[in-house]
Amino acid sequence: MNVREREKNGESTVARPPRAPWRAAAGRPRWGALAGSILAGVVVGAWLWSGGSGNPLSVDVLSHLEDEAAALAAGSPVTAAEVSRVLERGGVRLRPAAGTVTHARSCRFRGRAVPHLVLATEAGPVTLLVLRHEPVDASVEFTGGGFSGRIVPSGPGSLAVAGADGVDLDRVASRLQAAVEWL
């Protein structure tokens, strides 16, 4: 067949690629993609809910302390029954040598409820977070937002101790390590 004959019939002299059956593909539901998207969303949501921020422990402790800075202002002692209730949920007891507790509650930290105490010391209020599920191999110091702190190994996890800049963390952390009794 010659070129002129093809042009008369409406055919082009340029080769065309074959047409894809687009109507069948466009009408087909994309359930696999939808299910994959939902599954990915659930996985990411669960990771974030469980505290999967990937931040170092000291950064998360400091962030928690900054968010709850008002707890340091509490001045009146909390009842022994309230302190015991909070600590028992965290799987610990506090010996009397720890000092006067002016704030006691359970807080969400990295997806778990942890005891958060504020104790009155001679150097001013000191925060104690009992982190049963956050073991550390050695002490980790942190500073920021007007706080100085230390995370120390204790029992199956660790204790985060923090106070205003200038608090003698060695003495306070040692006293609180000795005062916490793991159940």
Tens digit of pLDDT for each residue in 100-156? 899 999 999 999 999 999 998 887 889 999 999 999 999 999 988 888 899 999 999
Domain count, the chain: 1
Mean pLDDT across the stretch 16-21? 60
The predicted model scores a pTM of 0.68
pLDDT digits (tens, 9 = 90+) for 40-72: 666 555 555 555 557 899 899 988 988 877 776
Domain ranges, residue 78 = 57-182
- Determine how β-strand 140-144 pairs with β-strand 124-131: unpaired
Mean pLDDT of the chain: 79
Task: Average the pLDDT over 16-44 and give the result.
Answer: 59
Q: How many CA atoms lie within 13 A of 129 on its CB side?
A: 29
Q: In this structure, what CATH number is given to the domain that contains residue 131?
A: 3.40.1000
CA distance 37 to 61: 33
Q: Is residue 145 part of a domain?
A: yes
Q: Is residue 20 part of a domain?
A: no
Q: Is 135 within a domain?
A: yes
State the pLDDT confidence band at 17, using cuts at 50, 70 and 90: low
Residues 170-173: contacts with CB within 8 Å, 24+ apart? 172/121, 172/123, 172/126, 173/139
